[in-house]
Structure 1
Amino acid sequence: MEAGTDTETPVIEFRGIGLTYPGPPPVAALRPCDLTVKRGDFVAVVGPSGSGKSTFLNIAGLLDAPTSGTYLLDGIDTGKLRDADRTALRGLRIGFVFQSFHLLPQRTALENVILALVYDGTPRRERADRARRALEQVGLGHRVDSLPTRLSGGERQRVAIARALVTRPSLLLCDEPTGNLDTVNADSVLALLTQLHKDGMTVLVITHDPLVAARAENMVTIRDGVLSLSESAPHEVLG
């Protein structure tokens, strides 16, 4: 799985990508679409509930295979990969951040981040140092030994972001990353994502929140399974 990770190779390239669930009747969850996300982009994918955002996330994150089209991730044609290779590519190239943190409560912040390195081939002797650096990157170097139950919601999401970053992915794929946070913690997490983007990370956020979408440089709208680039203000898109 050689990758084109130079700056000219898009991180995500959809060519006629679509997903239709078999019927009867067949349901077009995502209609065939084209999309390019360049290295270093910050993109928000917005739309009302039931619009197809989750389907988009699952395809972009290599969790579901499309039923039509070609998906290139870092220049790699994902449709030509065996299941095991797709899983390996997902683990190496995509860092996931979910609404519900998914941290192990009995493990420290450091241990939660280290878990992301267990299956990616990182030598055991390097894991703790890399995890510690990732926590420092998100401003939690002083909380490495804390259990999630002793952290605020914003801190827990920062641990989750550190876990996503520690594998050095090409793409940070965030699904409603502030959905479980109050306003103060949400602003803190959004500021972190903005800084990561400024530092060169490619960030793609799926959201229904116009305040989250407003942080992105580019916006994609999904309505009734139809994806389109949007020039509207976030509140106009989301309705």
Structure 2
Amino acid sequence: MTSVPLVPDIPAPPVIALRGVGLTYPGPPPVHALRPCDLVVRRGEFVTIIGPSGAGKSTFLNIIGLLDRHTSGTYELDGTDTGPLRDGDRTALRGRRVGFVFQSFHLLPHRTTCENVALALVYRGVGRRERMARAEQALRQVGLGARIHALPTTLSGGERQRVAIARALVGNPSLLLCDEPTGNLDTATADSILELIDELHRSGMTVLVITHDPAVALRGDRTLEIRDGLMTDRVAA
């Protein structure tokens, strides 16, 4: 009888792995927008980030989303070291792995909801028929199956944010980055959007939310605070 060698389970790399990552703008005097920090975010985690205006939250998000380059340390996204990547490779990695949701919806007013969502796939070489089919599926996922052909100007604020979330999800990203996703919404609408983000997290999505609202921050598995460019873990503090 031939024995079958056991193959050990190899854990997937973390979605985010920062080691000494910081960003300093040259002076004089130099500005430490984000001081060197370490962070690991595992697949399926929900992490919230709080801090006052100008503390470095947006700088952190831009680094994680590959919009800005860090000036120190190492940042791995899904196991890929992002530091040596050329601009085109960074753009491609961002398009495959990261979905963005902003406070402003950034929807084209004369395109339908489905067309707005499908635009996220244009530069990934996806054919039009598949783009539209995937956009429709993403809209159904966020509860807008009946609004596929609507124009953004006919939607409520909450519906427009759901379209923006569908656009972030249509590329099947590893990471959903949300920057004040309820900042332009009334309380009831904001709650419905947060419930949707909770549902996405429960389905396995890795979520990172930047917020100024302590109540929103409490929805995460853990909360980080950024103040004067320095990041600390509130759970560990």
TM-score, with structure 2 as normaliser: 0.94
Other-structure match for 1:57 = 61
Q: Which runs of 5+ in 2 are unaligned?
A: 1-9
Counterpart pick for 2:138 among 121, 134, 137: 134
Counterpart pick for 1:180 among 178, 184, 196: 184
Measured at CA, do residues 53 and 151 of structure 1 come closer, stay the same or move farther in structure 2, by a change above 3 Å? same
127-136 vs 6-15, which moves further: 6-15
Other-structure match for 1:82 = 86
Structure 1 CA distance for aligned equivalents of residues 11 and 221 of structure 2:
18
Shift of 1:8: 2.5
Counterparts of 1:100-179 in structure 2, within 5 Å, are 100-179=104-183
Shift of 1:122: 1.8
Q: Stretches of 4+ moved more than 3 A in 1? A: none
Asked if the contact 1:7–1:39 (Cα under 8 Å) also holds between the matched residues in 2, the reply is no
Shift of 1:124: 2.3
Q: Secondary structure at the match of 2:123?
A: coil
Shift of 1:7: 5.6
Other-structure match for 1:203 = 207
Structure 2 CA distance for aligned equivalents of residues 171 and 7 of structure 1:
18
Other-structure match for 1:25 = 29
Structure 1 CA distance for aligned equivalents of residues 111 and 127 of structure 2:
20
The C-alpha deviation readout for 1:67-89, integer Å capped at 9, x for no partner, is 10000000000001111000111
| Cα RMSD after superposing both structures | 1.3
Shift of 1:231: 2.5
Structure 1 CA distance for aligned equivalents of residues 11 and 135 of structure 2:
26
Structure 2 CA distance for aligned equivalents of residues 125 and 224 of structure 1:
48
Whichever of the two has the greater Rg, that structure is 2
211-220 vs 55-64, which moves further: 211-220
Structure 1 CA distance for aligned equivalents of residues 205 and 135 of structure 2:
18
Residue type of the alignment partner of 1:75: G
Structure 2 CA distance for aligned equivalents of residues 91 and 222 of structure 1:
26
TM-score, with structure 1 as normaliser: 0.93
Shift of 1:9: 1.0
Counterpart pick for 1:69 among 70, 73, 77: 73
Structure 2 CA distance for aligned equivalents of residues 184 and 156 of structure 1:
15
Identity level (%): 70
Structure 2 CA distance for aligned equivalents of residues 120 and 94 of structure 1:
13
Other-structure match for 2:216 = 212
The C-alpha deviation readout for 1:153-211, integer Å capped at 9, x for no partner, is 00000000000000000000000000000011100000000000000000000111112
Other-structure match for 2:6 = none
210-219 vs 140-149, which moves further: 210-219
Residue type of the alignment partner of 2:96: L
